[in-house]
Structure 1
Amino acid sequence: MAPAFLNRLTDSSALSLGVLGVGNIGMVHLKSAVAMPDVEVVAAADAVPENRQRTERAGVPRTYDDYAALLDAEDLDAAVVALPPFLHAEAVERAAEAGVDVFVEKPLARSTEEADELLETARQADISVGVDHTLRYQPDMVGVKEAYDGGSVGHVPFASITRLNDHPLGRPPADEAPPGWPLDPDAAGGGSLVELGVHCFDVLEWLFGDLEIRDAATGKTIETDVEDAATVLMEAPETGTTITLHCGTYQWEQLPEVNTRLRLEGVTGTISNEDHMPENFYAGAAKSALSNVASRLTSDEPAVFGPTFYLQAHYDALADFCEAVREDERPPVDGAVGRRTLELTERAYELAAADADADGVADDEDADPGTPEVTL
């Protein structure tokens, strides 16, 4: 790794990259980029001093406490926007002013309206927008698509996908207050549908083409301002497939070992992403977990990035974007894809709200039937 890193410092053809926001996912993107042989991470920005210190320990030469200051000061080819969703549009606008292509963490924006404004800003500045929809880069999902496209199970009348993750509050009991924005619908754009559902919508349209949402429901397992569970019923007209989606950000006692399950019920067989998991997945995950626990106990830096199952997908998504920038091509997962997942999310919210309103009316009628009219 060291020789490759030294080569980047003297290679004028290396892509000059800045990272805006180096919290959890931002650090994954940063360490992914540092590991790339043809990318030079020249600077990173974060308002939290501890995050900037981690960035410096990762070998990034310059850090800033404000992403706008970084964009003003640095000569970049591209930037990773790993800020909270309510800052995405503003960050892209500042990057556009600097003529810098952007790789934006999902969701692209908080709404389709905001996404349209963001993309128009990018279009006018002639900058590229990529979106970090990484589910399609996971090897198990690639295996499902290859099997499906190869016709191994014939027509697929039904499919299901479940994606789960831990809640911002962490394991119970919550002993530390999380950042405020994930639990603020105005800041995040929503709850589990925005956090996890957009990934599912992306991979499902990657498989089956355009989706039509038929029904949806959202719920809360704990009292917060955003949903932590959502279920969506869809149809893919192109393939005649009915699909159910469930996503949840739960306050787990124990996290699931595999957080995404995809199953295609074909007329001649079934395709499951579990059939395409690496043989060493569980052993590798356990080894990484033990290594990170040991690092924390010894005050060393946990291995945030490694070419492991989930993190490799983030690496590949960012590498694809960087290659598109280098070749002056459209990113393979671009802003239009990010906007489309928001469009589906908004439709699901609309149907869930309509169903909730209808249920509320029905409950009121049941609770108070009123005085019946009597005709003599």
Structure 2
Amino acid sequence: MKYKKVRWGIIGCGDVTEVKSGPAFQKVSNSQLVAVMRRTSELAKDYAERHGVPKWYDDADALINDSEVDAVYIATPPGSHKEYTLKVAQAGKPVYVEKPMALNEAECQEMVQACKDADVPLYVAYYRRAQPRFKKVKELLDARAIGDVRFVSTTQYQKIADDIKEQPSLPWRLQPEISGGGLFFDLASHTLDILDFLLGPIEEVHGIKSNQAGYYEAEDIVTGTYRFESGVHGIGNWCFTAFENVDKNEIVGSEGKITFSTYGDDPVVLTTADGQEEWSFERPKHVHQPLIETIMKDLTTETKQSPSTGESGAKANWVMDELTK
């Protein structure tokens, strides 16, 4: 079904929707945010009033079945992604779900199948696929700026947050029954997804996980190696109790290398025998907006524009499952 205009509802209008995603639904052509839901009615009402949204709910089913809501963005923690996706699909409405897509790859596949059975599209909020910074890296690779790609290395580590040390209860991101694992599942998922976008799918994975610091039960360090279908090799190190913050991806080829970060604003750097070139990009105010624009083109035209689907989102969960099993 193609829409002239898409009226969106949000389930879980928490912090991620304040700037990163929520306002983008009002700014993209032919898109409108018409309803939001949060379990605490006062918070749902406050969000709706501050963002100019006409309807608010404290019941997800009521939003899903609202006849004036055409599509639903699920912005809850991963533990409820499958439940809500299946309900939205049953209601016959397109789904846009936060990342990571679900608690594990098996849940992701249930979500994909449910949306196929209902003949509704499923999109995942791996928004970096649509941002100019990462599209530039893809452009360089497609142009063979570094020749034949040999391997990619990822090094991402950070300090332990003070609030994790001090607070009596852990944030949901560190509760595997809600998030799927520790910070690795929340943060590394973006990197693994963007590597899939840049280099194609990963087909073989080997990993080691540990909890070294003991601040919580979930893994706080993961090291892995993987091989892409293209033959490219990869290695990744993620640690969340280190002495400083580092975020670096390096794709090495037969004639050069490309260096870039997943979360930072560092320039994309191309290094070859001829020297270095750099490209800097301003971070979008609403980081989801470029991806939402592609989703809206999918929903309102006959073209397939969105680079992040249920099928691609499930791949990141499969890799993370393999790295941490």
How far is 1:312 from its partner?
A: 4.5
Which residue in 1 is equivalent to 2:299?
325
Amino acid of the residue matched to residue 20 of structure 1? I
Structure 1 unaligned segments of length 5 or more: list them: 1-11, 282-307, 351-376
User: Is the contact between residue 171 and residue 251 of structure 1 (CA under 8 Å) also seen in structure 2?
Assistant: no
Which residue in 2 is equivalent to 1:195?
186
How far is 1:321 from its partner?
A: 1.3
Please give the alpha-carbon distance, in whole angstroms, between the structure 2 residues aligned to 1:328 and 1:147: 29
Amino acid of the residue matched to residue 272 of structure 1? T
User: Is the contact between residue 23 and residue 51 of structure 1 (CA under 8 Å) also seen in structure 2?
Assistant: no
Which residue in 2 is equivalent to 1:276?
268
How far is 1:142 from its partner?
A: 1.9
Q: Is 1:125 aligned to residue 118 of structure 2? A: yes
How far is 1:261 from its partner?
A: 2.2
Amino acid of the residue matched to residue 16 of structure 1? R
How far is 1:279 from its partner?
A: 7.5
Which deviations, in whole Å up to 9, do the C-alpha atoms of 1:249-272 show, x marking residues without a partner?
4598x7x4xx74221222222211
Which residue in 1 is equivalent to 2:29?
37
Q: Which of 182, 189, 195 is equivalent to 2:173?
A: 182
Bigger helix share: 1
Which residue in 2 is equivalent to 1:138?
131
Bigger strand share: 2
Q: Which of 113, 135, 154 is equivalent to 2:147?
A: 154
How far is 1:121 from its partner?
A: 1.7
Please give the alpha-carbon distance, in whole angstroms, between the structure 2 residues aligned to 1:135 and 1:81: 18
How far is 1:175 from its partner?
A: 4.7
User: Is the contact between residue 183 and residue 220 of structure 2 (CA under 8 Å) also seen in structure 1?
Assistant: yes
Please give the alpha-carbon distance, in whole angstroms, between the structure 2 residues aligned to 1:208 and 1:54: 39
Normalising by structure 1, what TM-score?
A: 0.73
The 1:279/1:197 distance shift into structure 2, 3 A limit, reads closer
How far is 1:79 from its partner?
A: 1.0
Which residue in 2 is equivalent to 1:265?
252
Which residue in 1 is equivalent to 2:210?
219
Q: Is 1:115 aligned to residue 108 of structure 2? A: yes
User: Is the contact between residue 137 and residue 313 of structure 1 (CA under 8 Å) also seen in structure 2?
Assistant: no
How far is 1:30 from its partner?
A: 1.1
Which residue in 2 is equivalent to 1:96?
89
Which residue in 1 is equivalent to 2:316?
341
Aligned-pair identity in percent equals 24
How far is 1:316 from its partner?
A: 0.8
How far is 1:149 from its partner?
A: 1.5
Q: Tell me the SS of whatever aligns to 1:226.
A: coil
How far is 1:35 from its partner?
A: 2.0
The 1:67/1:172 distance shift into structure 2, 3 A limit, reads closer
| Higher RCO (C-alpha under 8 Å, 6+ residues apart) | 2
Please give the alpha-carbon distance, in whole angstroms, between the structure 2 residues aligned to 1:166 and 1:30: 29
The 1:201/1:175 distance shift into structure 2, 3 A limit, reads closer
Structure 2 unaligned segments of length 5 or more: list them: 261-265, 270-277
The 1:67/1:333 distance shift into structure 2, 3 A limit, reads same
The 1:187/1:166 distance shift into structure 2, 3 A limit, reads farther
Amino acid of the residue matched to residue 111 of structure 1? N
Normalising by structure 2, what TM-score?
A: 0.83
Please give the alpha-carbon distance, in whole angstroms, between the structure 2 residues aligned to 1:229 and 1:63: 40
The 1:23/1:61 distance shift into structure 2, 3 A limit, reads same
Q: Tell me the SS of whatever aligns to 2:65.
A: helix
User: Is the contact between residue 44 and residue 58 of structure 2 (CA under 8 Å) also seen in structure 1?
Assistant: no
